[in-house]
Structure 1
Amino acid sequence: MGLALCSLAAQAQEKPNFLIIQCDHLTQRVVGAYGQTQGYTQSIDEVASKGVVFSNAYVGCPLSQPSRAALWSGMMPHQTNVRSNSAEHINPRLPESTATLGSLFSQSGYEAVHFGKCHDMGSLRGFKHKDPVAKPFTDPNFPVNNDSFLDVGTCEDAVAYLSNPPEEPFICIADFLNPHNICGFVGENEGVHTDHPIPGELPPLPDNFEIENWNDLPSPYNIYAAVIDA
């Protein structure tokens, strides 16, 4: 999920500034702005209440890397050939001849900066990237891991940049790993966390949540079948 923001003052400029906030693993069904749940996403809901909500927006692929390559290049996975989360021995990097969001903005006189998670197979070309520094912390309510630690660094980097912006117009991406950390609720953290329950009811799982036969899925997803069988 991504949120693109520009200030009202910036809209009056010839070249407005842009901030894109990217979240990993966030589904529309749990965002209060879409009317299905309330109380979980107050900050996102506040931004949505002051802007425009797109109810018919779709990712290019339900896998992270193909989806990111599609988003930053404007091309579908069958065009980029980035079709899985695997590394370069399976997925080719986007060629230099492929236009990307970062290259187009840079060529138009923007400073293009990116903070946080990449996993893009070259589709972030044109952006100046800064790796986040992990900032460990503990949460008494929920288990956290290095994904969350890195998100603190990403947030601090983006805030520092926006607090002292350049003179030229800019496009800034704050790219977070969470709420991918839901994966931290398996293994030793598995179970219902009743000490600090989440208020209200979560939306129901989609009808296709339970997968009966992984082999019936397209080949990019079969890698997970091997992991589960192992």
Structure 2
Amino acid sequence: MKIKYTITLGLALIPALFSKTFAQTKPKYNVLFVAVDDMNDWIGPFSGYKGIKTPNIDKLARKGVVFKKAYCAAPACNPSRASLLTGIRPSTSGVYHNNQPWRPVLQDAVTLPQYFTANGYEVKGAGKIFHNSFNDAASWPVYFDVPRSPEPPKAPVNGFAHFDWSPVDVKDEDMGDYKVVNQGIDYFGKKHDRPFFLAIGLTRPHLPWYVPQKYYDQYPLSSIQLPKVTANDLADVPPAGVKIAKPQGDHKFITEHKQWEKAVQGYLASITFADTQIGGLLDALEKSEYAKNTIIVFFGDHGWHLGEKEHWRKFALWEEASRVPFIVYVPGLSKENSVSERTVNLLDIYPTLAELCNLPAKKELEGNSIVPLLKNPAAAWEFPSVTTHGFGNHAVRSEKWRYIRYNDGSEELYDHDNDPQEFTNLAKDQKYAAEKRKLAKSLPQVNKKDAPTVKEGKE
């Protein structure tokens, strides 16, 4: 697999947009920006699955700040990544789904890697950073594409190689994520005369869950624990929410074919495979000359359901689809073993990195810098997190509540202090009317109509 070099005229002109030059700002830090795909809270620091094996993510968590209540701006790959990399909400851009190219409707947006390039950084991307179908050539002076991973000769479970899981008889070295991570490992072994922004994007645990046998072996079927669910969980969910869950689709297939334990096994195996690759990357940084001045940002693009609310995949406004792994390490600033319970959003990454690296502030960014929380994880914070899935559908998450309002006006309300699995919808109880009004103040004021769509077959 060859490294692709792409330099555009627009990229070359970007520095002229900013008044402060690199020489004036003197950035202090390098940035290692690590994205994982479809990873929910089933990792050690987030305690979502007892017995998960994620020693490398656990090690990073002990080193930096773990944000226990971090959420995506959209529960799908394309809108989540487009929003966090441009700093623009889905409801502002109209990019809500995976089949909507984001660049045509955000032609003037300066992406996070573009901004670092404009301010004198050496920038490289490898793997899945933007959604695969809509990677942005203008964002990457140097980019290494996602290599294809081995697959079984025939899809073992579902007859097609997407919603599927199986061990594959290959080595880690044969997998695409291993090759992507190797780009980062090699990068740390080289001399860099300028501060750098290195983005590494892993595909697993995105479907299909094809990873080497040794990762499946760590989770025998006899040990698998299914998610905590309750019967008729969708009974108090409005039709707009039931339509999103599609209980007669994936969940019906899983239960009728007795695949629930095997699917959970495949997901766990894929998480541990990803953790192993992340470990190689972080070890290489730790051994390099850049260890003491490199920020590490680790995040998942959205969550994932494995049968909760009779739903599978992302594409929903409930907790499991929208909560994300999010860990930040800043040398000399973040304290070891720090945990923040404040509600933050992936939109906050862009303004946070700009502030940490002394780059000029960008007023159009719609997130909030979390630098105060990196200094003091328990600092006062008045920003509920908003997740959007489709035109006019939003969830507002405070530290106690999740409030969902669909575009037809129907609602859900969950008390996370007493109902963390979101089993009981309180939205129709007048006792909580004032709380709903308070949460509704955080709903986006702009709801742009859907951006144009294209045929796009992958998640």
Deviation at 1:171, TM superposition (A): 0.8
- Bigger radius of gyration, 1 or 2? 2
By how many angstroms is 1:205 displaced?
Answer: 5.0
Residue 69 (structure 2) aligns with: 56
Q: Is the aligned partner of 1:126 residue 2:126?
A: no
Contact 2:27 2:195 in 1 (8 A): no
Q: How does 1:72-221 map to 2 (within 5 A)?
A: 72-86=85-99, 88=101, 93-117=104-128, 118-119=130-131, 121=134, 125-127=138-140, 128-134=142-148, 136=150, 142-144=166-168, 149-181=175-207, 183-184=208-209, 197=220, 202=225, 204-205=227-228, 216-217=240-241
1:84-128 superposed Cα distances (whole Å, 9 cap, x missing partner): 11154xx55353411210121111111121100231645674333
2:45 to 14, 17, 33: 33
Residues 206-215 or 56-65, more deviating: 206-215
Residues 27/66 of structure 1: CA separation in 2 closer, same or farther (3 Å cut): same
> How far off is 1:27 after superposition?
0.4
Residue 33 of structure 2 is aligned with which of 2, 16, 20? 20
State the SS of the aligned residue for 2:66. Answer: coil
- CA change 1:217–1:135 in 2 (3 A) is closer
What's the CA shift for 1:155?
A: 1.3
RMSD, aligned CA: 4.1
The verdict on how the C-alpha distance between 1:40 and 1:168 changes in structure 2, with shifts beyond 3 A counting, is same
Q: What letter matches 2:29 in structure 1?
A: P
Given the two structures, how large is their TM-score scaled by the length of structure 1? Answer: 0.68
Q: CA deviation at 1:178?
A: 0.3
Match for 2:88: what amino acid? Answer: M
Give the TM-score, by structure 2 length: 0.37
Q: Report the Cα distance in structure 1 between the residues aligned to 2:231 and 2:31, rounded to whole angstroms.
A: 36
- AA paired with 1:170? F
Task: Report Cα offsets for 1:174-199 as digits up to 9, x if no partner.
Answer: 10110113x347xxxxxxx7895178
Letter in 2 for 1:35: S
Q: 1:205 to 1:156 in 2, by over 3 A?
A: farther
More strand by share: 2
Q: Measured at CA, do residues 167 and 175 of structure 1 come closer, stay the same or move farther in structure 2, by a change above 3 Å?
A: same
Can you list the C-alpha shifts for 1:47-69, whole angstroms capped at 9, x where unaligned? 11111111121111111111110
Separation in structure 1 between the aligned mates of residue 220 and residue 71 of structure 2, nearest angstrom = 31
The CA distance in 2 between the partners of 1:161 and 1:174, in whole Å, is 11
CA distance in 2, matches of 1:70, 1:123: 13
Contact 1:66–1:83 (Cα < 8 Å) also in 2 = yes
> Whole-Å Cα distance in 2 between the matches of residues 208 and 74 of structure 1?
39
Kindly, what percent of the aligned residue pairs are identical?
A: 24
Change (3 A) 1:196 1:26: closer
Pairwise CA distance, 1:42 = 1.2
Q: Which has the higher contact order (CA 8 A, sep 6+)?
A: 2
- The amino acid that maps onto 1:178 is R
Unaligned runs of 5+ in 1: 1-12, 186-192
Secondary structure, aligned partner of 1:93: helix
Contact 1:63-1:85 at 8 Å conserved across structures: yes
Aligned-residue offset at 1:79: 1.7
Q: Deviations over 1:4-59 (max 9, x none)?
A: xxxxxxxxx8421111111101002x111123434421110111111111112111
Tell me how far apart the structure 1 counterparts of residues 150 and 114 of structure 2 sit (CA, whole Å).
34
SS in 2 for 1:159: helix
Q: Distance in 2 between matches of 1:160 and 1:195?
A: 29
Q: Which residue of 2 aligns with 1:3?
A: none
Structure-2 change in CA distance of 1:60 and 1:218 (3 Å): farther
